Structure 1
Amino acid sequence: MTERLPHFDTTAATPEQKAVLDEILSGPRGNLNGPFLGWIHSPELAQQAQRLGAFCRYRTGLPLRLSELAILVTASRWQAQAEWYIHYPIALQAGVSEADAETIRAGHRPDFADADDALIYDFASELYETKRVSDVTYAKAVERFGHEVVINLVGLLGYYALVAMTLNVFGMRALGQESLPFPE
């Protein structure tokens, strides 16, 4: 998987590591694909991060299509190979169009057919580009989704930036990944 981290042998896992792995495998993800085998070398971080991730992925109040769209924007901005590889098919299944996903992967703004898609893209892009969100975009997001969901959207974007950083720093790839969506 990576030469930057020592090989993780599940049979030699500490009780803390086993607890994290068991929680991940018995939760909604059901697999260790992604940053988890990197984080497992720090079991407390792994436990906290995977719990935050479960919330950000499944309980933000956003429809799955919009959550996955935000994840694709993040993966593209960070050029996170495994993050894109894992979430691209999920996003398509959730209703993100292949053309929009490809345009995002290429680093451009799609001509969205859906106003919610455009709003999520604009919110995430402004945050990544300017480190802020304009008053206009913020007001649109709060009007459309409410404060709680906007707060959760910021959490989702932050969490998936953490995932992207982890994957990139440690050169991690997804299980079964043979091609790279971004140049190295």
Structure 2
Amino acid sequence: MKDNNRLPLFDRSTATNEQAAVLDEILSGPRGNLDGPFLSWVYSPEFAQRAQRLGAFCRYDTGLPLRLSELAILVTAAHWRSQAEWHIHHPIALQAGVPAHVAGSIRCNETPVFDDPDDRLIYDFATQLNETRRVSNETYEQALNRFGHVVMVNLTGLLGYYTLVAMTLNVFETRAALQVELPFPE
């Protein structure tokens, strides 16, 4: 299994029952792989179990279209300059309909030009929360009117979850499987 620079290589053959159960749940779920923070989190199986379940909800069940969820994830990955998070989510975002020029601008810390007002709204919400630790009243009201309270809670949770992912990947210097190029300078 893929290792990273700060934790020992995880060996499935020596996994505890709790570790094996977490890994099996991740592999049998919608992700189907262990790319990302999971081989770091597995050193604390209870944390891994709780975090990966939250992550599955945040990734697949927020009430946002996949394009908007992935756009929010890219904003967070770029904010944290998370090499693996960007590497994993960039192709998913493009496939979900995030325009390549928008993703490129986000990666380069430039404000994108948006064709879709929902994309702009998600970008503004995620950028404000990541950069200022707050969301302006104007952006909040626009997002609330567009998406409603439930999705607003879920969007905020998604941004928090992917911040946790980025922090984990950065602390343990984790790279994605098969990642050769880095999207951000070190």
TM-score (norm 2): 0.98
1:15 aligns with 2:17: yes
Write out aligned runs for 1:24-173 (5 A): 24-173=26-175
2:4 and 2:172 in contact (8 A); partners too:
yes
Which portions of structure 1, spanning 4 or more consecutive aligned residues, are displaced by more than 3 angstroms?
Answer: none
| Aligned sequence identity (%) | 69
- Range moving further from structure 2, 17-26 or 2-11: 2-11
Q: Which runs of 5+ in 1 are unaligned?
A: none
Given that 2:5 and 2:174 are in contact with CA atoms closer than 8 Å, whether structure 1 keeps it comes out as no
Deviations 1:97-150 (A, max 9, x none): 111000000011101000000000000111111111111100000100000001
| CA shift for structure 1 position 3 | 2.6
1:157 aligned partner, one-letter code:
L
Q: Displacement, 1:72?
A: 0.3
- What is the aligned-residue RMSD (CA, Å)? 0.5
Counterpart CA distance in 2 for 1:3 and 1:154 is: 30
- Residue deviations 1:40-89 (CA, integer Å, cap 9, x gap): 00001100000000000000000000000000000000000000000000
C-alpha distance in structure 2 between counterparts of 1:133 and 1:94, whole Å: 25
2:74 touches 2:89 (CA, 8 Å); kept in 1?
yes
Counterpart-to-counterpart distance in 1, 2:5 and 2:72: 30
Residue 177 (structure 1) aligns with: 179
C-alpha distance in structure 1 between counterparts of 2:177 and 2:77, whole Å? 17
Q: Distance in 1 between matches of 2:76 and 2:131?
A: 11
Supply the distance in 1 between the matched residues of 2:129 and 2:5 (Cα, whole angstroms): 32
Count of aligned pairs: 184
Distance 1:16 1:7 in 2: 18
